[in-house]
Amino acid sequence: MGALCHFLERQGIPTTGISLVREHTEIVRPPRALWVTFELGRPLGIPDDAPFQRRVTRAALDLLARTDGPLIADYPEHIDEPADFSGWACPINLAPSQVDSLEAEIDRLATWYDRAVAALGRTTVGVSGLDMPAAGKLVTEALNGHLPTAQALKEATDDLRAYYLEAASAFPDAGTPATRKKWFWDETKLAAALLALQPRLAASDDPQHKILANLTMIPASERHRLG
């Protein structure tokens, strides 16, 4: 983010930006940055809270009046951690032992995904161009030794992950984003498949497979699950 500010401002476009990682911004030193303490992935802070988002947007834009950069302004509002529902359990019986295949799991989630799309009015699934059964088939084939290109597998698994988490947001007792992510990694056949695929991708001769295995498939926070 900060590098782009340098590139654009040097070409005559005044910039301001949000910073999520202060340590990075302190090194890159863009002309203007508003540092926020929000979770990575949520630079405007709180979903569906328009007044909050608007205050952040306005604070970042207000920095345009300043010419004393490089500067980092600290945004004064913070967000408390969401309540911990550690006892939360997925109310839908999706435990891996309850479905015999990834395909069955994907199929069972379809009705919840449809409800989520109806409630949200949109979906973020659709990078790969595959429908979800086809994306699941790609993962199953990979597990069976037929590795597709890293890009195809990345797009399919990212779509599946979005499909699962959007579906879970429509469960009757949906918990929090954190508990839904825990459900995904603890209980789903898809997560088990990703974890099983990781060493096979890491052992591939294709450097793109290695990138997928080592960086872009299993979050850093979940890598402790790898054997």
Closest CB 176 distance from other proteins, rounded Å:
9
CA distance 172 to 116: 11
Q: If binding is defined by CB under 8 A, does position 133 make contact with other proteins?
A: no
82 binds other proteins (CB under 8 A): no
H or E element in which residue 22 lies: helix 22-28
220 in contact with other proteins (CB under 8 A): yes
Site residues for other proteins, 85-114, by CB under 8 A, read none
Site for other proteins in 24-43 (CB under 8 A): 24, 27-32, 37-43
Q: Which of 112, 140, 141, 181 binds other proteins (CB under 8 A)?
A: 181
- Spatial separation of the C-alpha atoms in residues 96 and 99, rounded to whole Å: 6
**CB under 8 A: which stretch of 83-91, 100-108, 116-124, 134-142 binds other proteins?**
116-124
Restricting to residues 189-218, which ones interact with other proteins according to CB under 8 A?
A: 208, 211, 215-218
The residue among 37 and 101 lying less far from other proteins, judged by its C-beta, is 37
Binding-site member from 138, 142, 156, 166 for other proteins (CB under 8 A): 166
Of the pair 81, 205, the CB lying nearest other proteins is at 81
If one asks whether residue 175 binds other proteins (CB under 8 A), the answer comes out as no
The answer to whether the peptide bond before residue 70 is cis (omega within 30 degrees of 0) is: yes
From CA 92, how far away is CA 112, in angstroms rounded? 10
Query: How is 125-181 classified by DSSP, letter by letter?
Result: --SS---HHHHHHHHHHHHTT----HHHHHHHHHHHHHHHHHHHTTSTT---HHHHH
Residue closer to other proteins by CB (options 27, 172) is 27
Other C-beta atoms within 10 Å of 68: how many? 7
CA distances from 174 to 12, 41, 208 (A): 47, 20, 36
